Amino acid sequence: AEQRVIQARSLITQNRSSLLPQLGASTRSEQSWDDNKKTTSLHRFGAIINWEVDLLGRLRNSLTGSQYQLEAI
């Protein structure tokens, strides 16, 4: 029973996080030299923000179902 409670709480946390924006970042650096020993450096930075709008309530209903599942244990 304790394992099912832990699993249900984990599912609630996962479903709650799906309601929030997802953030990501990346970096990349390169350095090269030519025949004249001239150094060229390239630095790239990237950011990604992803958010799913819950127009039909699928994400919210999934969270509610997870909470009911925990209460049923």
Looking at residue 18, its pLDDT comes to 87
pLDDT digits (tens, 9 = 90+) for 8-55: 899 899 888 888 899 999 999 999 988 888 889 999 999 999 988 888
To 10 degrees, the CA torsion angle through 62, 68, 69, 70? 120
Q: Label residue 60 by pLDDT band (50, 70, 90).
A: confident
pTM (2 d.p.) = 0.51
**Residue 58 clears pLDDT 90, i.e. is over it:** no
Instruction: Provide the 3-class DSSP secondary structure of residue 18.
Output: coil
Instruction: Provide the 3-class DSSP secondary structure of residue 27.
Output: strand
Is the backbone of residue 57 left (phi > 0), alpha (psi -120 to 50) or beta? left
Which residues have C-beta within 8 Å of that of residue 18, sequence separation ≥ 6?
52, 59, 62, 63
